[in-house]
Amino acid sequence: MRLLLLAPPGAGKGTQGARLAAAFNVKHISAGDLLRAAARSGSPVGRQISSCQERGDLVPDEIVFDVLTPVIVEAVARGGYILDGFPRTLPQATAAADLGARLGLALDAAVYLYAPEPVLVRRLLGRASQAGRGDDTADVIRHRLKVFAETTSPLIAYYEKRGILLAVNADQPPESVTAEIQARLPGPSPAHDIKDTQDTT
Ligand code: ADP
């Protein structure tokens, strides 16, 4: 199973990523978590990552590729992945598709989780009051939502055009979101034969 999760902050990418990875017995790859871990190294690149994340800006594509590519390649070798938070820009999406083509693999679906903005903000502020991620402040949340709308949301049309977009209402309990994704995922069919599809990641 190879899935990616495309969603604004607060829609539940992390939660669904973990649940789906357990359900399909594949690796959950969280771009945000991997970048936060790389930031903790304290190297110059690490400091660059952490200043982007603190501001709610995207980390430059090249850094994202360096951090994520080896993890994706390894997950592919072990049977698949749930990719949460990558790709997030059109250049990242085309690079991911190129990587898939090189590895001879098709993506099963791009799951777009959507919810009304007040719901997203409420969830993120709720999380801030509990776990306290540095970028869950009102100003940075607003900025992250804007970055999603401007830079990441074009990927919705990109995957729709490729015929693999699965849009799911994320404003329902986590178990219902997972169940809906599982029920609506395309089953094995000739259309998913590698030779018959151009959707690769
Ligand atoms: P959220 O979706 O709630 O913002 P994430 O943990 O997915 O949470 O991302 C947190 C931050 O990590 C982003 O604001 C950005 O700085 C960085 N990041 C995560 N994924 C990417 C990516 N694919 N490209 C660039 N930056 C990313």
CA gyration radius for the chain?
16
What is the predicted pLDDT for the residue at 27?
Answer: 96
Nearest-angstrom CA–CA distance, 127 and 136: 8
- Write out the H or E segment, with its range, that includes residue 4: strand 2-6
pLDDT band at 188 (very low <50, low <70, confident <90, very high): low
Residue 36 CA: nearest ligand 1 atom is: 12
Determine whether 146 is an active site residue: no
Mean pLDDT of the chain: 91
Asked if residue 200 has pLDDT above 60, the reply is: no
Catalytic residue (one of 88, 162, 184, 195): 88
> How sure is the predictor about 154, in pLDDT bands with cuts at 50, 70 and 90?
very high
Distance 194 CA to ligand 1 centre (A): 30
Give residue 182 CA to ligand 1 midpoint distance, Å.
25
Confidence band of 197 (pLDDT split at 50, 70, 90)? very low
Residue 120 confidence (pLDDT): 96
Whole-number Cα distances in Å, 41 to 36, 49, 50, 124, 155:
9, 10, 10, 26, 31
Q: What value, to the nearest 5°, has the Cα angle with vertex 163 and ends 31 and 7?
A: 30
Q: Is 123 a catalytic residue?
A: no
pTM of the prediction?
A: 0.90
Going edge to edge, which strands form the sheet with 165-169? 27-30, 81-84, 2-6, 109-114, 165-169
pLDDT digits (tens, 9 = 90+) for 96-138: 999 888 888 889 999 999 999 999 999 999 887 787 788 999 9
pLDDT at 8: 98
Active site residue 88: yes
Catalytic residue, chosen from 36, 55, 127, 142, is 127
Q: Which of 76-80, 87-91, 112-116, 176-180 has the lowest mean pLDDT?
A: 76-80
Q: How confident is the model over 177-182, as a mean pLDDT? A: 97
